[in-house]
Amino acid sequence: MPLFPRSGCLALLLGLALLLSPLAIAAAPPTVAAASDLQFALSEAAERFTAETGRELRLNFGSSGNFRRQIAQGAPFELYLSADEAYVLALHEEGHLENEGVVYAVGRLAWLQPRGQGELPGEEAPLIAVREALDAHAAGEGRPRIALANPEHAPYGVAARQVLEHAGLWEASAPLRVLGENVSQAARFALSGDARGGLVAWSLALAPPIAERGEHVLIPESWHAPLVQRMALVEGAGETARAFYAWLQEEEARGILADYGFRAPGDGFHLPGDAAP
């Protein structure tokens, strides 16, 4: 006697065909590749978008450089939000994106340190903690780590290196530096027990889960190249990704980004909670 009656086999085959049909695949939530400095801001924005539209999203956070390489290799992302617009423009030139996209924000860099880990530097000398860590290491008083994202593929890591070079501390800080795969991992390293602190995205330092454990001071914008962040649709993007892309350009989404310290393109810089100029 067959394990399944003929009618049961037909029903099973029909069910598998439906699961593998283009319509079923198209109904899956689109995957968004987003720079890790957006971890909290974009998660909040996506929740709001889903609540308003009923459309689900999959958010994948990581380093912009790694996503740039993965998209060029055919990774199934539908929307790409980079912390460095150069990656988006390069992918467009190579034919992987629908167009050159739009600038959605300008980021800021901050010094982040664990609460109670020494005095917080002032805005006039935000890297004094790095100098103190170097002095302590030279005096044989341990090896207090300085965290930053890997400059090889993370835009905030590039900015952190530029800041340390501006202060004449890049070479000297080599024995103390610990590199995160992305700026979100660098923020975790900055708050670890053996770290003096780190140079991370301001958007992460402002996020409640991190602000509860750490304290921060802004790095002057003139100390590094602007962190101009651009997004674009990947070739073949579906309707949900297109809707989210459009929604992110609306006032509600811009307000969420502003709450996490992101400046809108063309706006004067202002602190979260302040009235926009």
> Each residue of 241-260: pLDDT tens digit?
999 999 999 999 999 999 99
- Quote the pLDDT of residue 275: 40
How far is Cα 255 from Cα 126, in angstroms, rounded to an integer?
Answer: 28
Q: Tokens 């939000």 map to which residue?
A: 81
Q: What is the pLDDT of residues 152-187, one digit of tens each?
A: 999 999 999 999 999 999 999 999 999 999 999 999
Instruction: Identify the pLDDT of residue 116.
Output: 87
What is the model's pLDDT at position 190? 97
Low-confidence ranges of the chain (pLDDT < 50): 1-14, 16-26, 269-277
Orientation angle between helical segments 239-247 and 39-53, nearest 10 degrees: 110
Strands 214-218 and 109-114, by their bridges, are: antiparallel
Query: What pLDDT shows up at residue 27?
Result: 64
Q: What is the 3-state secondary structure (H, E, C) of 157-195?
A: HHHHHHHHHHCCCCCCCHHHEEEECCHHHHHHHHCCCCE
Question: What pLDDT is recorded for position 81?
Answer: 98
**Amino acid of residue 239:** E
Residue 267: per-residue pLDDT: 60
Q: Residue 14: its pLDDT value, please?
A: 44
Take residue 176 and report the two structure tokens written for it. 């103390």
Calpha distance 39→160 (Å, rounded): 19
Residue 229's H or E segment, with its range, is: strand 227-233
- What is the pLDDT at residue 65? 96
The contacts of residue 184 (CB under 8 Å, 6+ apart) are 36, 37, 39, 61, 204
